[in-house]
A and B are shown apart, each in its own frame.
Chain A
Amino acid sequence: MATTAAPTGAARNGAGPEWGGFEENIQEPLSSQGGGSAVIDMENMDDTSGSSFEDMGELHQRLREEEVDADAAAAEEEDGEFLGMKGFKGQLSRQVADQMWQAGKRQASRAFSLYANIDILRPYFDVEPAQVRSRLLESMIPIKMVNFPQKIAGELYGPLMLVFTLVAILLHGMKTSDTIIREGTLMGTAIGTCFGYWLGVSSFIYFLAYLCNAQITMLQMLALLGYGLFGHCIVLFITYNIHLHALFYLFWLLVGGLSTLRMVAVLVSRTVGPTQRLLLCGTLAALHMLFLLYLHFAYHKVVEGILDTLEGPNIPPIQRVPRDIPAMLPAARLSSTVLNATAKAVAVTLQSH
């Protein structure tokens, strides 16, 4: 019934004058809807039976349709009233406000779905545990074939977890050696150091690779350097617990060297030209090895003489005053060593001022 009424209403709308046409348009859906429901009602009333369940189903559907039609009719009625100059100002301001709200909401939801969509990162986390394990082991094995570009897996789960593990190991090391951070926090320093190294050195090497015309993307560089931190994690974990200098140097050369060689081999396979290779790989090797050295010494123990001579009159705002601790960690002697070292630190600060 409603479908038959609408075309005639539209035809009348186009043909006749505007004012009359709109009024008829308003009345049409209501009457047709009333007529339609009346017809269905009569049919149902005729039955003396039928299950009440079917009646309820029909009733619910009719009520829903009525609602939808009532909404549409109310909207049209509102339009009709607006165009018919009834309550003009109220309607206009309400409509303008409504439209602005809709536009604003649409823009905000579009921006949100664009920037806060974590699904952008989803393909980089699509890994299996076996893959992560094999990539961790491969990061310690340098490959000799440098004639064609070696494959780098572009994933971010492994590197991210390795950076967090490095943060945890650093915290453990700082606590063990009673490092004091003035005007800073232990957590902040550890997180800043690790993430700063990973992101900063990756960007720097990517920039150098761009200059040297190497075929590597930013994601691949992040993944490569991230997996290279696996060697650092192993070395620091062992040497923070066993405080022997000779052992540290051995591990530094062996494990650090292996992971650096692997990264260097991958980069060499993707760069053309001896000068470029030397520049790129030399920089990466130097930064990687020196970072391990820095992590061990700055956060673990420093020879006090070096500290005195290097710092001099200007003490930087974030000052680390590491302590020299004995090889074993007996809690009984900890308080006395802490006291001695505290006195030394106070002396250092007083001396400099």
Chain B
Amino acid sequence: MAEAEESPGDPGTASPRPLFAGLSDISISQDIPIEGEITIPVRSRIREFDSSTLNESVQNTIMRDLKAVGKKFMHVLYPRRSNTLLRDWDLWGPLILCVTLALMLQRGSADSEKDGGPQFAEVFVVVWFGAVTITVNSKLLGGNISFFQSLCVLGYCILPLTVAMLICRLVLLAEPGPINFMVRLFVVTVMFAWSVVASTAFLADSQPPNRKALAIYPVFLFYFVISWMILTFTP
């Protein structure tokens, strides 16, 4: 070892010496195992992984995606400071929630005199364009979250409001009255607060610390508009 250390540090050698020539005097004992793969394994392994998900049955794919969506639903219902939603984002959950909400909020018939509720397209457009606007705003304020991650979080945090819509629908089956309205108001307010808190837990870390309020306010407005649509819905 001493020879190996001396030879590279020797400035007097004019001729360029081969790299490991100084180590030729050292021998290894035979019981150190020297084995391993010489080929570079990374690329071939990725190709194997891709083809394996392509060949699996449709049921496996759907169940895997549904499980991922369900896991994210659990994260939204019990919001902790985690980045599960951010790490592997997907837009299946937001799509399911948005379509469910829009279907339930649909107006009875197109030319009814009573304005029962918005149309399907209205809810859809409000949800998606609202989410896009909030994402662009948070990126412009200096947040380091990607476009689709933000869409994913905002879409998943509509889950409490969808639950509120289901409850309101059930409550509306009973007789109308002030108690009816108060119950619905209470449920929608609680779920609105839950949505805002859940999305804050996920989004707050990606913003610069002094601008969190600026990024959270449009989220508040967005869920307020959706809550208002839910609260004022009459079948």
Contacts and interface: CB of A to CB of B under 8 A. Distances in A.
Interface of A: 43-44, 46-50, 52, 54, 56, 58-60, 63, 118, 121-122, 124-129, 132, 157, 160-161, 164-165, 167-168, 171-172, 175, 178-181, 185-188, 330-332, 335, 338, 342, 345-346
Contact of A118 (B38, B136, B181): B136
For chain A, what secondary structure do more than half of its interface residues adopt (helix, strand, loop), or is it mixed? helix
Given A50-B26, A187-B122, 18 more contacts: A43-B21, A47-B24, A48-B26, A54-B20, A118-B136, A122-B140, A126-B142, A128-B214, A129-B213, A157-B137, A157-B141, A164-B221, A172-B228, A179-B115, A180-B113, A186-B122, A331-B181, A332-B178
Contact of A48 (B19, B28, B115, B125): B28
A30 to B, nearest CB: 22
A262 B5 CA distance: 79
Contacts of A43: 18-21
A286 B27 CA distance: 96
Contacts of B140: 118, 121-122, 124-125, 157
Contacts of B26: 48-50
6 nearest A-B residue pairs (beta carbon): A125-B140, A331-B181, A49-B28, A175-B232, A43-B18, A49-B26
B77 interface: no
Contacts of A335: 176
B79 interface: no
A52 B136 contact: no
Interface in B19-64: 19-21, 23-24, 26-28, 34, 36, 38, 40
Nearest to A122: B140
B195 to A, nearest CB: 15
A27 B32 CA distance: 43
A130 B97 CA distance: 36
B144 to A, nearest CB: 13
Interface in B175-197: 176-178, 180-181
A168 B23 contact: no
A101 B133 CA distance: 33
A48 B210 CA distance: 61
A171 B225 contact: yes
A342 B114 contact: yes
B181 A342 contact: no
B20 A168 contact: no
B43 to A, nearest CB: 11
Interface residues of B, number: 43
Contact of B214 (A60, A157, A180, A181): A157
Contact of A187 (B27, B118, B218, B224): B118
A164 B113 CA distance: 28
Nearest to A341: B113
Given A43-B20, A129-B210, A185-B118, A342 B113 contact: yes
B173 to A, nearest CB: 16
A124 B141 CA distance: 9
A83 B220 CA distance: 66
A331 B218 contact: no
Nearest to A64: B40
A161 to B, nearest CB: 6
A164 to B, nearest CB: 5
Given A46-B24, A128-B210, A157-B214, A181 B118 contact: no
Contact of A168 (B139, B141, B178, B221): B221
Given A129-B214, A132-B214, A346-B113, A332 B177 contact: yes
B217 interface: yes
B115 A331 contact: no
B137 A178 contact: no
B67 interface: no
B177 A331 contact: yes
A180 B26 CA distance: 92
Interface string B188-229: 000000000000000000000011011001100100110010
Contacts of B177: 331-332
B167 interface: no
18 contacts: A46-B21, A47-B20, A47-B24, A50-B26, A52-B36, A58-B19, A118-B140, A124-B140, A125-B137, A125-B140, A128-B210, A129-B214, A161-B218, A164-B221, A168-B224, A181-B115, A187-B118, A342-B113
A53 B195 CA distance: 53
Contacts of A331: 176-178, 180-181
Given A49-B27, A171-B228, A187-B118, A127 B19 contact: no
Contacts of B20: 43-44, 46-47, 50, 54
Contacts of A122: 140
